[in-house]
Amino acid sequence: KNEVEQSPQNLTAQEGEFITINCSYSVGISALHWLQQHPGGGIVSLFMLSSGKKKHGRLIATINIQEKHSSLHITASHPRDSAVYICAVPQGGSEKLVFGKGTKLTVNP
């Protein structure tokens, strides 16, 4: 079974700071998912990546397949970025996802 570890569990930042959230997994995968869950509870898929880097606005996701590690970066953080960020990887070759415990980010104005 793939084990997914995220760090840190909680992160508090000041508006404008550069944010990094880390995710490590134990078994090789085809793609890794980054999800965002806002205080209201809804879950949104941010990225799915299998190699290299992807960028969407102020969000950047990177993955190192050899090291089984991914990072999610937020540049020029804003209070509206406050949310829980969850990393997920497929279990075996199936569509079944295994989730990290999430990183709760709070960005203060």
Whole-angstrom distance, CA of residue 61 vs CA of residue 76: 15
Residues numbered 52 to 81 that lie near another protein (CB under 8 A) are: none
Q: What is the DSSP string of 13-47?
A: EETT--EEEEEEESS--S-EEEEEE-TT--EEEEE
Give the residue with the Cβ less far from another protein, 43 or 76.
43
In angstroms, what is the minimal distance from the CB of 88 to another protein?
Answer: 8
Give the residue with the Cβ less far from another protein, 33 or 68.
33
Give the residue with the Cβ less far from another protein, 17 or 104.
104
Region of residue 92 (phi > 0: left; psi between -120 and 50: alpha; otherwise: beta): left
In angstroms, what is the minimal distance from the CB of 44 to another protein?
Answer: 7
